[in-house]
Amino acid sequence: MGADRTSPVPTRSSPDVATPRDDDGLVVVDGDGVVRLVDHRARELLGEDFQLGAVAPALVLDADAVTLRRHRDGRATAVELRMHPTQVDGGDGWAIAVADVSDRGIDRDEVSEFVSAVCHEMRTPLTGIIGYADALREGWDDLDEERRANFLGVILREGARLTRLTSDLGALSRPGRGIDVHPESVNLDHAIAETLAVLREDARGVEVAGDTGLLVRVDGSHLQNVLTNLLVNARKYGLPPIVVDVERQEFQGVVRVRDHGEGVAESFVPRMWERFSRAREGERPPGVPGSGLGLAVVASLVAINGGHAWYEPNEPKGAAFCVAFPLALSGGSPPGGPPAEDPGRRD
């Protein structure tokens, strides 16, 4: 049931309404989306004919956005809506601050960082799709039916992963919005083999060691994104040999991606999992491009799958990036079937 629409509603001075800036407008709606309060500034900025007791326009109910509003006199105003949970007569509701942001300059460095980050995260699946498609085109007559099906399977899986990845990046860019998680029982051997097959040149010489046959409870697409980011990170910033170690620890499966480079500067470790965080000059190899998003994606995807990620120095030198996921209770296989290629394993 919605709140009693004749009862008092929050005002600007109410403790449960986030305080707007002086020049902001304010709209308050109840749990049914019905307008309980709207001030003159909000009406002016949004140009909407708000009616108390009526359902708010869709524009307001899809808040946490910036929209361009055109007025009758031809002016255009960039309006930001910020939604905050509040209480309306003891029930759930929303206080929506409405601000004119037309005079805010565009942070071109921030835009550049975002574009670079998106390119970084999309490059690997696109490389897999293009590589296998080219192999099919050039060698179609020389490939038997099984290998054609195998290559097509990789293309389809990478296309699906790219779709999921764009959704995940969108969710990461808008805190508070969730990432879809579809946990299943995944064989770590198969997931690692599939990731190495897709990475192709970037995975050349990678060794796999440790426990075999471990099944973990995780979203298979998220696991492949995590493994891909860690392997690309090791190739970019570390030195060979690169080793993927798998270990069973009580009720979890642990994967360590180890390299034998210079390791991570101690000063960078506390912020290495943050979005757009990159080691400063002198803390990383010179001339290596990057967006600072890869490890943030790893940390987020691992966390929402009930796992955890951490860093530890490799011995005798280098870096080890580690992730752990809960062990599955029953058997399973990776999404997309058996691995595209069986990597060499060093026990």
Residue 14 has pLDDT above 50, yes or no: no
- The strand pair at 252-258 and 308-313 is best described as unpaired
Coil, strand or helix at 225: helix
CA distances for 241 relative to 77, 260, 315, 344, angstroms: 56, 6, 12, 13
Which two structure tokens, joined as six digits, stand for 93?
């509701």
39 within 8 A of 50, measured Cβ to Cβ: no
Fold of the 25-100 domain: Beta-Lactamase (3.30.450)
| pTM (whole model) above 0.85 | no
Query: Which two three-digit tokens encode residue 5?
Result: 């629409």
Residue range 240-269: mean pLDDT, rounded: 92
Of 3.30.70.330, 3.40.228.10, 1.10.1740.10, 3.30.565.10, the CATH number of 129-326 is 3.30.565.10
Task: Concatenate the DSSP letters of all residues of 117-142 into one string.
Answer: HHHHHHHHHHHHHHHHHHHHHHHGGG
Q: Among positive and negative, which fits the CA dihedral 31, 35, 41, 42? A: positive
* Averaged pLDDT of the chain: 75
Is 165 or 71 the better-scoring residue by pLDDT?
A: 165
Ranges of each domain in the chain = 25-100, 129-326
Q: How confident is the model at residue 54 (pLDDT cuts 50, 70, 90)?
A: confident
42-56, 59-73, 198-212: the lowest-pLDDT one: 59-73
pLDDT-based confidence at 288, cuts 50/70/90? low
Q: Is 95 exposed, middle or buried (0-12, 13-18, 19+ CB in 10 A)?
A: buried
3-class secondary structure, 15:
coil
Distance between CA atoms of residues 42 and 23, nearest Å = 10
Report the C-alpha gap between 228 and 190 in whole angstroms: 14
Query: Which residue did the predictor score with more confidence, 168 or 3?
Result: 168
The answer, yes or no, to whether residue 61 has pLDDT greater than 50, is: yes
Topology alike, domains 25-100 and 129-326: no
